[in-house]
Amino acid sequence: MVAVLQSYIAGRWVGAKPAQALRSAVNGAPVASTHAESVDFAEALHHARSVGLPNLLKLDFQQRAAILKALAKHLNDHKEALYAVSAHTGATRNDGWIDIEGGSGTLFAYAGVGGNDLPSGNLVHEGPAVPLGKKGGFAGTHILVPRRGVAVHINAFNFPVWGLLEKFAPTFLAGMPCIGKPATATSYLTEALVRSIDQSGILPAGALQLVIGGTGDLLDRLEGCDVVTFTGSADTAAKLRVHPNLVKQAIPFNAEADSLNCAILAPDVTPDDEEFDLFVKEVAREMTVKAGQKCTAIRRAIVPRAQLAAVAERLRNRLATTVVGDPANDTVRMGALASHAQARDVAERVAELSRGAEVVYSAKDGFSPVGAGVAEGAFFAPTLLLAREPKNHAAHDVEAFGPVSTLMPYDDLDEAVALAARGRGSLVGTLVTRSPATAAQVVPPLAALHGRILVLDREAAVESTGHGSPLPLLKHGGPGRAGGGEELGGVRAVTHYLQRTALQGSPSMITAVTGEYLRGAKLRESELHPFRRHFEDLQVGDSLLTHRRTVSEADIVAFGGISGDYFYMHFDEIAAKESPFGKRIAHGYFVLSAAAGLFVSPAPGPVLANYGLDTLRFVKPVGIGDTIQARLTCKRKIDRNRKDAKGVGQGVVAWDVAVSNQDGDIVASYDILTLVAKKT
């Protein structure tokens, strides 16, 4: 008797009666069944709002980032159990690596995003602040805060682990509880993932819930502060987008839909070039990895008409060497489709695509999956079609979500771009070329139609992650048919789950709200140098106004000798007089160095290191005889909850530095970033 999958609702596992049987994609044997019991979505949402949300908001961005890192480590430690379940989906070990370790890798990436790019607390000052009055008493800026709602993530069948985690990571980081709904066909793997997460005890209660089966009245119960994301077919995305309650409540809806992605071989590439083989390899890989069940797979291979025969021959030869069968067999390089229903769907789509196209490679070329019991599996032969007159071919409208691609010839680059455009918006496109000029010509019009573009040549190939690999720090999504949404993209993904608000007020009030000093706000000056204060004792607004220093010709000469910078503006009296400044001026970096000499407290103390400058601007020139003075102010504090090798805690402090001249005019402005020790 197979196991009955359970939903994880309100902190408990729900479901005991079997409903829909789920079969192994490899041999057709039953793997599990969904549960027959209905999920109480009112309870699920109440739990998310009353338990999950308060628990998440007790933590700040930095603490939630640390939890993501701990969860990533846990999943890596228990990955083999997930690989064992993943095999039933038809995935090879490499396919599983993309899904399982790609998922934990995304958690690691967002732990880094939170730790490095987000502040302490639960408010992001997006900035920059802008003055809204002439006297400096009124300003405006933008802030980002948690939405205080629930995120519902509806996922496709092809990546049961990564699909959940790549949405969960930025959602959790943003302080939003999440309800995940995986596609039923492979939900047994997602359930195994969530069980492992639950058993770890790492997540706060209510942070993550799981729905096995349908969504019932879940979408009807959502409110304006909630968010819905979807990954799957363009048709389903279109239906969900106009769900009456989502429209009525203006609930943000993000879709990442399957698209008819393309790869273009540029006319400068010949069969003798390394790039030619790179193109063939990329198309073949995207046909066979995950058995072509990737929203980013290459569905249209657009090639110069003169190279059509050569590309077709090399692709055919490469596909002929691909061993298909049970992933447990070490020789297998392509597994099964995720379900028997999916195999039937792909067969129907291939029949549509075959009208008006030639078959270059298919099951007729000797398709025989290897392994015991594979006759009952959901295997499908790699299928390469050729549309010699591609302008109106079905491949621009019909997607076979499996190991299927269509070759299309073009006569010039304008036609190649036009063929790409017929896909009506894609997640990703690849241009294979040796010519920078070709890349510069083709990428801009392609960019209007694609969420991501890979320009592939022999130099990039050394480290390229490939056409079909979304990366945590880059946007995943695309216009038009691809859904019009965005996922991933580093901190961008986190901001999708935060509310952006314009904030107006005095500099002092904006400083109090954002926790970030805005010039013009009230300062706290004391006899103790700010660099003598430990992280806990520093307050935003702690400030030091330094003594003054008059710049001499000797300073400029000495700095030129030390730096080797003999630019004419510093040393040529005649040329300097003819310049817009009308005189010799000091090096900008001398001004920075002199300012450091004014505000640095030289003895050992809590400030451990200066690791960079931000927002540096040289506002006005400093000439011989000018007198400069610096104001150093604690601008921002970030507690990253880290300790050094001796167990001493550290925090990051950004200092606002304003260097002014004898007239009170600012001559240089910048932020200094420092590591500051805690008391313990």
User: How far lies 403's CA from each of 59, 283, 381, 612, in Å?
Assistant: 45, 10, 7, 49
In the three-class reduction of DSSP (H, G, I as helix; E, B as strand; rest coil), residue 122 is classed as: coil
In the three-class reduction of DSSP (H, G, I as helix; E, B as strand; rest coil), residue 507 is classed as: helix
How is residue 417 written in tokens? 């771009």
Positive or negative, the CA dihedral 113, 118, 123, 126 is negative
Which secondary-structure segment (H or E) carries 408? strand 404-410
Question: Who contacts 668 (Cβ-Cβ below 8 Å, separation ≥6)?
Answer: 588, 591, 592, 595, 616, 617, 618, 619, 657, 658, 659
In the three-class reduction of DSSP (H, G, I as helix; E, B as strand; rest coil), residue 205 is classed as: coil
463 is catalytic: no
Give the span between the Cα atoms of 16 and 1, in whole angstroms: 13
Q: Which of 178, 262, 295, 634 is catalytic?
A: 295
Give the span between the Cα atoms of 217 and 244, in whole angstroms: 12
Of the candidates 591, 581, 524, 578, the residue with the CA atom closest to the CA atom of residue 551 = 591
β-strand pairing of 227-232 with 253-257: parallel
Question: Which residue has 């209660």 as its token pair?
Answer: 205
Identify the bridge partners of residue 333 per DSSP, sorted by sequence position.
none
| Cis preceding-peptide flag for 128 (omega within 30 of 0) | yes
Task: Pinpoint the alpha helices (H) of 303-434.
Answer: 308-320, 340-354, 413-421
Report whether 405 contacts 302 (CB < 8 A): no
Give the span between the Cα atoms of 328 and 365, in whole angstroms: 24
Q: Which of 256, 275, 282, 516 is catalytic?
A: 256
256 is catalytic: yes
User: How far lies 661's CA from each of 275, 339, 447, 625, 657, in Å?
Assistant: 58, 73, 47, 10, 13
Which secondary-structure segment (H or E) carries 70? helix 61-77
Q: Could you list the active site residues?
A: 256, 295
